[in-house]
Amino acid sequence: DIVMTQSPLSLPVTPGEPASISCRSSQSLLNSNGYNLLDWYLQKPGQSPQLLIYLGSNRASGVPDRFSGSGSGTDFTLKINRVEAEDVGVYYCLQTLQPPLTFGGGTRVEIK
């Protein structure tokens, strides 16, 4: 199974400041078509998860452009340009290269 490791576990942030979350996979997520099969999700408190980024760097419909995804192979980063209060919650990465699909353990973002 592909193991997904996120860091940090917890991230206190100041509104208006940038934030960054790392996700590392135990093997490359780059497929034969040149796509990185890595998604990012946000689960806000008391809500279901929502898709933020797919294929490593593509923002999902309706996702603000302050969110961006980057990286390739085994190292990926989710960046929030300027954190807003509504961005609090737990962020998860997910690999979809091969079954079983595996999530990272999550990064809790909270306002300082």
Partner 1 sequence: EVQLLESGGGLVQPGGSLRLSCAASGFTFNKHSMSWVRQPPGKGLEWVSTINIDGATTYYADSVRGRFTISRDNSKNTLYLQMNSLRADDTATYYCAKVRPTTEPLRGFDYWGQGTLATVSS
Residues in contact with partner 1 by the rule CB under 8 A: 37, 39, 41, 43, 48-51, 54, 60-61, 90, 92, 94, 96, 98-106
Least distance in Å: CB of 61 to partner 1?
8
The C-alpha angle with vertex 24 and arms to 19 and 30, in degrees rounded to 5, equals 115
User: Can you list the positions of beta strands (E) in 1-112?
Assistant: 4-7, 10-13, 19-25, 38-43, 49-54, 58-59, 67-72, 75-80, 89-95, 102-103, 107-111
Q: Whose Cβ is closer to partner 1: residue 77's or residue 96's?
A: 96
Q: Whose Cβ is closer to partner 1: residue 20's or residue 97's?
A: 97
Least distance in Å: CB of 14 to partner 1?
26
